[in-house]
Structure 1
Amino acid sequence: MARTFPPDLVQTQRDWMRTYDALARTPFRTVLRRRLQLLSCRIASHPYWTTGTGRSTAARTELRRQARSEELREGRIA
């Protein structure tokens, strides 16, 4: 089932994935850990999750799937 997520939420998820990948390559970067925490808070507190369609756990999985497919489409991740 295709969901329509707010563009800012999808972009924040994409930023989160890129930061996570960068942290995996250089694990001792405090600035990346802080950025990952900030982005996690932004995703978790987004108003979309209070709507009827955002309440299911499947919505969070679908957000990650859509963000990853956009990253793959743009060639940003392998």
Structure 2
Amino acid sequence: MRPPFRFPEDLIMLERAWQQTYTDLAQAEAGTTVLRRRLITLSGTLCTHPYWAAPAAWRAGSVELRRAARTHTSAPAEGEAAA
């Protein structure tokens, strides 16, 4: 079993915002320009987050990030105290 991923809180919040925007866009019937632009901006911010600096980090952690964002649970990063 792999050790759990430790995602920074800001990365989880970005993923949650992305998921919510995606849901809002899927349910919108008209006027989706603002939502599409927000989704593009969030996607760029997510992909360029410093957490993904390691070459294989995105492939290894993207699914776990989505799960963590859905359940909004994250282990504290090294050096951080648990909330």
Q: When the two structures are superposed, what TM-score results if normalisation uses the length of structure 1?
A: 0.79
What does the per-residue CA deviation read over 1:16-59, in whole Å, with 9 as the maximum and x for residues that have no partner? 0000000000154100000000000000000000147x625121
Structure 1: unaligned runs, 5 residues or longer: 72-78
Structure 2: unaligned runs, 5 residues or longer: 74-83
Taking only aligned residues, the RMSD between alpha carbons, in angstroms, comes to 1.9
Task: Give the paired residue count.
Answer: 70
Provide the C-alpha distance between the structure 1 equivalents of 2:15 and 2:58, rounded to a whole number of angstroms. 17
**Larger Rg computed on CA atoms:** 2
Any idea what SS the aligned residue of 2:72 has?
A: helix
Greater RCO structure (CA 8 Å; 6+ sep): 2
1:17-28 correspondence to structure 2 within 5 Å: 17-26=19-28, 28=30
Provide the C-alpha distance between the structure 2 equivalents of 1:42 and 1:30, rounded to a whole number of angstroms. 18
Q: When the two structures are superposed, what TM-score results if normalisation uses the length of structure 2?
A: 0.75
